[in-house]
Structure 1
Amino acid sequence: MLKILHAIISNKYQIGEPLLKHRNFLLAVLILSGMIVFGLALQGCQIEDGAPAFDDNLNWLTVIETPPTIFETNFDQIQDQTEREPTAQEFDQDDQSFWPSFPPPAIQPATPIPPPLERLEIDDHILVWVLLGTDTEPPFSGKTQAIHLVFINPRFSKASLISIPGDLYVYIPGFTMQRLSTAYAIGGIETLRTTLAYNFGVLPSRFVLAHPGDFQWLVDDINGIEVTVFQPIPHACGGIPAGVIPMDGTLALCYASYRDGMDEISRMQRQQQLLQLIFHNLTHNGNLAKLPTLFASYQGWIKTDFSLPELMGFIPLALRLADPDRIGYFLIGWDQISLWEVPGYSQAMVFLPDQEAIKYVLETALSTILIPSPLTNQFQTLEAQLIAAQQATAISFQQSTPIPPDAPTPSEPLELTPPWETPGVSATPTTLGYP
């Protein structure tokens, strides 16, 4: 497998000019696909305990009376001064014992601030990442309406993804009670990390943030997808009936973005469904061999603290997680939240979290990746497809593209260190995990 990665990296330097930049979202999905944080190769859309599967019954919501005022801020046009990669001084990714302090509020909160959720007990070898999707193009931050926590166990090649509603009303340390979706716009990735630590007992060590608008390019690049629509959408997106629907990029983007009132849960379920289909396409037929080219093409648009060598090193894990039933999907859903109608002229709605119910979902998501299970023969098939794709790509580049003077040659091998052998990465290879 390391020879495959070496060859793929080498081909990257023979491409010359990068591909036309489709910008942020494509790279975001590819990064997450390469690292398999979504585990989108499962058969069908698997929703674990903690949320109903594709159920739009809004009668489960509980309306709760709350104090008469709420602090509301317009974050749609905040200048994007926070979108930068954090430095080592800001956050030490290798320090598993680090836990942030929680400053008092700077603004009087509309509701009493709840106590911080107890820190979740996570073994050192478990990776914790967060995927973010903002609703505004740069140079503005906007709100992060897509928030997904990811737990990964490299030893057993298993992962869990937990989708969190952006309208969850939480304490943002040092600021006030506010929607979770505003934390990044207020103080960047460090504020978001601290907010997640306070309200979920989890401190992600890595992040990926994407802007909207380019998801449709990705779907078009893979020649569209066929989506099984469980609940029709008659009054948006040109009308989408139930059934198996071919979707191009424009229709898929509308399907993933549409929200009926406060039904954020159904939207998150549709997003998980689409990501599974896209990931299945990217992990099959050797498509991960294109990762270096795409990274070079879209670098600078996506916000992340991952490097290309790290992503390449995660390809073996990606192929294993593409094996059926390696990844569980969870939601902070109707059983973990209550709907709050804000009094006053705005009539805004937010979700109030049930801390104990949320803690149970997180603990369940974590426990599922601690149970080993054997791989099927699909991994060998995907590995063979990747080898064939790499070999075909290498031949194509040699025939059509001149090699720049500074490209690696056989006498100058490019060494690739897998992330589990890189200092500071705690994952340990086993026979059930990495090769």
Structure 2
Amino acid sequence: MKKYGIVLLVLLLLVVVACTLPSKIFTPQASLLGLKDYVLVAPPGSSPTPTPFQPIPPTPTYLPTSLAPEATATAQPPTPIQDIEYTSDLGRNWEDYPGPSVWPDIDVPAPLGILSHPEGQVNILLLGSDQRPDDGGFRTDTIQLLTINPQEGTVKITAFPRDLYVYIPGYTVQRINIAMGWGGFEALADTMEYNFGVKPEYYVLINFWSFVEVIDSIGGVTVQIGRDLCDQRDAFGWYCVSQGTMWMSGESALWYVRSRYTTSDLDRGRRQQEVLEAVFDQLVNLNGLQRAPELYEIYKQNVTTNLNFDFLASFLPIATHLAESREIVGHSIGEEQVYNWTTSNGAMVLVPMREPVLEMMRHVISEP
């Protein structure tokens, strides 16, 4: 039973990162940030760096010598719940991070600092790679933060759109999905700390074919489809599913959670939640003791991570609770936290707005 509970948690990671949660695009609006929120201002007429499929090598660093450290955000943490111990906000300045090696085409905001959070909190980045078989480079087109508070038994998942245009310490301002390909997990963790106030300690990285294998290994899933869907599907052309109950193989489930040409990202998020629920239902119906070794082998063969079995075992009570209750709080960086911005080469990106991001991250990180 011990290993079964761990597999439930592992499969949660696998299923979640194989999907891309909503990041709705909307009409551009003015930034809510003032000049005081920036530590590096793009010079007039500067040209944006292109978004590469694979990160370009850094160029020499040229930084002004008159940069003064900026104060970190002043928003107050929520009132602590009784008997829960919190860390204090940990301020950060521009000088705490490496400067850009490629001059950015947009102003660089001051670092957010590490936000107050319950003692013992664990943050794990769940990453989905766009890598194809035999490809060398990759981008993390799915980025989700799994926040676990063991003492309170709470679990939160926060989605970060791949097109977030953020400062990658030591590189430049670019889409967040290239940070790990440029500098490894440490670069992505630093990027999360600088822009969102949390530095994840662990990561789980998978590819999309792993999702298919996981679904097929448990015999497929029976999905409660909330509304009709028609979209393009490889080898099928125009493919439709109708509202109601439908069994899906791994390939069908992957198509269902990723289809986006005829619907919105918000609708895609709804479909992903339907498949996630179907996976849990199927796991509950399985003989976990017999299937757990097989499922764990799939995890080991398809996942790149700095987590180990002993670490996962320590979260057995939470995994068991999730299997029974499905009580996971979901958040997403969305239209209330970003504004659209178009680079001179025509690329559409999402620029975070400091105060709305800070408010949302307080809910994610600073509350149990």
Give the TM-score category using the shorter length.
0.7 to 0.9
Which secondary structure does the structure 2 equivalent of 1:207 belong to?
strand
Letter of the structure 2 residue corresponding to residue 321 of structure 1: L
Deviations, residues 127-168 of structure 1 (Å, cap 9, x unaligned)? 111100110136523110111111112122211110110111
Aligned residues: percent identity?
Answer: 28
Q: 1 or 2, which has the higher strand percentage?
A: 2
Distance in 1 (alpha carbons) for counterparts of 2:226 and 2:298:
35
Match of 1:249 in 2: 250
Match of 2:51 in 1: 73
1:191: Cα distance to partner? 0.4
Distance 1:268 1:197, change over 3 A: farther
1:210 matched to 2:206? The reply is yes
1:172: Cα distance to partner? 0.3
1:185 matched to 2:161? The reply is no
- The answer to whether the 8 A contact 1:158-1:321 is kept is no
Match of 1:154 in 2: 150
1:313: Cα distance to partner? 3.8
Scaled by the length of structure 1, what TM-score is found?
0.62
Which secondary structure does the structure 1 equivalent of 2:247 belong to?
strand
Deviations, residues 74-100 of structure 1 (Å, cap 9, x unaligned)? 22599xxxxxxxxxxxxxxxxx99999
CA RMSD after TM alignment: 3.6
Match of 1:116 in 2: 111
Letter of the structure 1 residue corresponding to residue 355 of structure 2: E
Distance 1:35 1:243, change over 3 A: closer
Distance in 2 (alpha carbons) for counterparts of 1:39 and 1:326:
16
Distance in 2 (alpha carbons) for counterparts of 1:314 and 1:131:
16
1:216: Cα distance to partner? 1.7
Letter of the structure 2 residue corresponding to residue 70 of structure 1: P
Distance 1:288 1:161, change over 3 A: farther
1:33 matched to 2:9? The reply is yes
Distance 1:204 1:224, change over 3 A: same
Deviations, residues 325-384 of structure 1 (Å, cap 9, x unaligned)? 63211111122122223333xx2211111222122222223466x2xxxxxxxxxxxxxx
Which secondary structure does the structure 2 equivalent of 1:340 belong to?
strand
1:335 matched to 2:336? The reply is yes
**Structure 1, gaps ≥5 residues long:** 10-29, 41-50, 79-95, 371-435
- The answer to whether the 8 A contact 2:54-2:181 is kept is no
**Structure 2, gaps ≥5 residues long:** 32-41, 57-86
- The answer to whether the 8 A contact 1:34-1:315 is kept is no
Distance 1:220 1:107, change over 3 A: same
Superposition pairs for residues 210-359 of structure 1, below 5 Å? 210-230=206-226, 232-237=228-233, 238-244=238-244, 245-260=246-261, 264-283=265-284, 285-287=286-288, 290-324=291-325, 326-344=327-345, 347-359=346-358
Superposition pairs for residues 386-401 of structure 1, below 5 Å? none
- The answer to whether the 8 A contact 2:157-2:328 is kept is yes
Which secondary structure does the structure 1 equivalent of 2:117 belong to?
coil
Distance 1:69 1:258, change over 3 A: farther
Distance 1:122 1:280, change over 3 A: farther
Distance 1:356 1:277, change over 3 A: farther
Distance 1:261 1:135, change over 3 A: farther
1:105 matched to 2:106? The reply is no
1:217: Cα distance to partner? 2.0
Q: Comparing both chains, which one has the higher relative contact order based on Cα–Cα distances under 8 Å and sequence gaps of 6 or more?
A: 1
Superposition pairs for residues 160-179 of structure 1, below 5 Å? 160-179=156-175
Which secondary structure does the structure 1 equivalent of 2:209 belong to?
coil
1:69: Cα distance to partner? 3.6
1:145 matched to 2:151? The reply is no
1:128 matched to 2:94? The reply is no
Distance in 2 (alpha carbons) for counterparts of 1:38 and 1:194:
24
Letter of the structure 1 residue corresponding to residue 28 of structure 2: T
Letter of the structure 2 residue corresponding to residue 317 of structure 1: I
After TM superposition, the structure 1 stretch with the greater mean CA deviation from structure 2, 176-185 or 281-290, is 281-290
1:364 matched to 2:339? The reply is no
Distance 1:296 1:39, change over 3 A: closer
Which secondary structure does the structure 2 equivalent of 1:236 belong to?
strand
Deviations, residues 220-270 of structure 1 (Å, cap 9, x unaligned)? 222222334445442323333451343221121122223349954544454
Distance in 1 (alpha carbons) for counterparts of 2:30 and 2:120:
40
